[in-house]
Structure 1
Amino acid sequence: MLHLRLITPAERTDEVVRLIESTVGTTHLVVLPGAARDPAGDVVLCDVAREAGDGLIAGLRRLGLDDTGSIAVDTIDLSLSRRADEAEEAAPGEGADAVLWEGLTEATHEESTLSVTYAAFITLATMIAACGVVLDNAILIVGAMAVGPEFGPLAGISTALVRRRPRLAWRSLTALLVGFALAMAVTAGFSLLMDAVGLFSKARLEADRPNTGFIYAPDWFSFVVAVLAGIAGTLSLTSAKSGALVGVAISVTTVPAAANAAVALIYDDTHQAARSSEQLLLNLLGIVLAGTLTLLAQKSLWKRRRRRP
């Protein structure tokens, strides 16, 4: 279930209430006349089944409530109510399959913004991965994958393509490109420092690396895994099962490939640099393609399900 807290201008409250009452899957409607102060108006509270939430939110936006008042949505983790159970049964479809498009757009907007925190995470992840490739340490590679925040902008690009939001697409692409460029530049400087103190060396990079050699050896499996990870990551976002994102993060070779390319460049190893860059691009392309197709499939399937009586 979702909990909606609405602030409505007094003259629009009746319309809002009628919309809520006519939406299958809503319950626990509360109207508090004149309770809001900034902006001034009435406060309307209600609960709605997740599968009916997107339609109700879209209707509230058509009433202009996002401009004249406020729409706040929270997820209810526990609701002990017979009326709530009846509302969920009446709503079409299954809550786990429903996509809250406004929530997805907002979430990807936040995750795909080029901020100091985002830049710090992707840079630190790439530096950790650089240590992993030089030491041929798979544990460090997995750790770097888990730390890397690059799935946010990738999901943002997919969402922007499906929802036709060019500003979100540009924001996500900027975060992705600038983030990786900055991370690789800092990692190159970090590698030079580590080489100066004798911790990194060209011999270590070019030695036999049974645990991390796959990073600069892209093949069809790289693309296949990226596609599968993109599907899983998109489903985890749309179904609010964020725990699956950790598994997605450690399934694709994005950050390690960027790190390997950065280290290889300072040692003039053009072969590893080129192959690592190919691995990076292959994974990015696979995730975006899979994410976009998954969202399109979910959109189509949900529309068909909602048309059923």
Structure 2
Amino acid sequence: MIAQLRICVPEKLSDAVMDCSTGELGVAEVSRQPGASVLPPGDVIDVLLARESVERLIEKLQALKVQEQGSISVSMPELVLSDRADKATVDAPGEGADAVIWDEVSRQTGEDSRLTWSYLAFLILATQLAAIGIVTNSTIAIVGAMAVGPEFGPLAALAVALVRRQWQLGRSAALALGVGFPVAMLAAAFTAWLSVPLGLFPADVLERGSAVEFIYHPGPYSLIVAVLAGTAGMLSVISRRSAALVGVFISVTTVPAAGFVAVALVLGEYQKAVGSALQLGLNLVGIVVAAVAVLIFYRLVTKRLPRGEDLRLRRKALGSSGS
């Protein structure tokens, strides 16, 4: 897997950036355009390299404070036909699919964790769908609510914030969860309160819904499913596999549990409301804990991977011993 870095840098840092780029293992091509940058004035340097080498090179560039005086942008070309690029992916330590670009993960989860109108709208719509599925005993509507719910974004951001100690990101994620769920539950409770006198569903509807009993009966498997979902979700974020993330949404009952709390409170089923709230809390905690564990594991693994300089020394030693 090949990545491309575009580095906009002042002329005084250009030589240092060139040295970092050309000296990194896994780099296939480096090109320099002197004076190509107008704002800020300086050079533009393009680097084609294996994805697994991106994080190491970014660390070196950040040590030079390139991001403060210029910019670093990362893109993933759809197709690169180059023998040098193929060799770079072989030489680079690790696998491209397992490579973590930490700034990319932080930026992606940060964008998904903000308390925006669209986030609130999706969460309210998802909770309404869940409430409808609950009162109509419709598993399809509940699954649809799981797919629409946007709550994994803030949960993933919270995990990243805990691991990387990015407290501003953590506050943003906590705000999205702490405001989003109560607002969505209040909206669902209001519509349920309006629906009862209109005769849209009977007051004893929760006594008949056998298909939704799993929502208010938390147990060991509730936590296990949440942990598995959190693990799969963070892996999908790291590996950029959106299809897997949709599957994660459908596997956890966060939004349905929130919808059930709202309906149960309106109907006076307080014991079931407490059970569903416990289910919601277990799922949220389980997802975050699992996501944190995945990030810590990847951080430990990537730190143990041999760096470019170490690999060169090893290969040189092996070559001299073979001769």
**TM-score normalized by structure 2?**
0.93
Q: Distance in 2 between matches of 1:200 and 1:177?
A: 30
- Across the two proteins, how many residue pairs are aligned to each other? 308
SS at match of 1:2: strand
SS at match of 1:114: coil
Instruction: Identify the residue that residue 287 of structure 2 maps to in structure 1.
Output: 287
Distance 1:38 1:64 in 2: 17
Q: In the aligned structure 2, how far is the partner of 1:72 from the partner of 1:289?
A: 31
Residues 132-171 of structure 1 mapped to structure 2, 5 A cutoff: 132-171=133-172
Q: CA deviation at 1:150?
A: 0.5
1:64 aligns with 2:65: yes
Give the unaligned 5+ runs of structure 2. 312-323
- Report the counterpart of residue 319 of structure 2 in structure 1: none
Describe the SS at the equivalent of 2:67: helix
SS across alignment from 1:77: coil
* Consecutive aligned runs of 4 or more in structure 1 exceeding 6 Å deviation: none
Q: What secondary structure does 1:211 align onto?
A: helix
Distance 1:69 1:293 in 2: 34
Whole-Å Cα distance in 1 between the matches of residues 284 and 147 of structure 2?
16
Deviation (angstroms), 1:197: 2.6
Which position in structure 2 is the counterpart of 1:18?
19
Give the Å deviation of 1:250: 0.7
Instruction: Report how far residue 17 of structure 1 moved.
Output: 0.8
Structure 1, unaligned runs of 5 or more: none
2:303 alignment counterpart: 303
TM-superposed deviation, 1:289: 0.6
Higher deviation after alignment, 236-245 or 189-198 = 189-198
Q: How many angstroms apart in 2 are the aligned matches of 1:187 and 1:33?
A: 59
Moved more, 220-229 or 168-177: 168-177
How many Å apart are 1:76 and its aligned residue? 1.8
Give the structure 2 partner of residue 250 of structure 1. 250
Rounded Cα–Cα distance in structure 1 between residues aligned with 2:197 and 2:47? 63
Corresponding position of 1:275: 275
Higher mean C-alpha displacement, 144-153 vs 56-65: 56-65
CA distance in 1 between counterparts of 2:35 and 2:180 reads 47
Letter in 2 for 1:282: L
CA deviations on 1:254-293 (whole Å, 9 max, x unpaired) are: 0000000001111121011101100000000110111101
Match for residue 132 of structure 2?
A: 131
2: CA distance, partners of 1:279 / 1:202: 23
The answer to which of 220-229 and 234-243 deviates more is 234-243
Mapped to 2, the partners of 1:179 and 1:58 lie a distance apart of 35
- What is the SS of the residue equivalent to 2:196? helix
- The aligned amino acid for 1:184 is M
One-letter code aligned to 1:96: A
Amino acid at match of 2:101: L
CA distances 1:150-181 after superposition (whole Å, capped 9, x unpaired): 00111111111111111111111111111101
Alpha-carbon shift at residue 138 of structure 1 (Å) = 0.5
* Aligned twin of 1:3: 4
One-letter identity of the residue aligned with 2:219: D
Secondary structure, aligned partner of 2:74? strand
SS in 2 for 1:212: helix
Q: Which amino acid aligns with 2:187?
A: V
Equivalent residue number for residue 36 of structure 1: 37
Question: Residue type of the partner of 2:19?
Answer: R
Whichever residue aligns with residue 247 of structure 2, its letter is: G
Deviations, residues 41-73 of structure 1 (Å, cap 9, x unaligned): 211111121111111111111111111111111
Q: CA deviation at 1:201?
A: 3.0
2:47 corresponds to which residue?
Answer: 46
1:238 match: 238
- Normalising by the residue count of structure 1, what TM-score does the alignment of the two structures yield? 0.97
Aligned equivalents of 2:202, 2:129: Cα separation in 1 = 16
Output the amino acid matched with 1:129. Answer: A
Structure 1 letter corresponding to 2:292: T
Mean CA deviation greater in 112-121 or 75-84: 75-84
Q: Which moved more, 1:22-31 or 1:114-123?
A: 22-31
Distance 1:132 1:227 in 2: 25
SS in 2 for 1:32: strand
Q: State the AA in 2 paired with 1:10.
A: E
Q: Find out whether 1:87 has 2:104 as its counterpart.
A: no
SS in 2 for 1:23: coil
What are the superposed Cα offsets for residues 210-264 of structure 1, whole Å, 9 maximum, x if unpaired?
A: 2211111110000001001111111111111221001111111100000000011
Residue type at the aligned position of 1:39: P
- Percent of pairs identical after alignment? 46
Summarize the alignment of residues 88-127 of structure 1 with structure 2, pairs less than 5 Å apart. Answer: 88-127=89-128
The structure number with the bigger radius of gyration is 2
Give the stretch that moved more between structures: 193-202 or 38-47: 193-202
SS at match of 2:242: coil
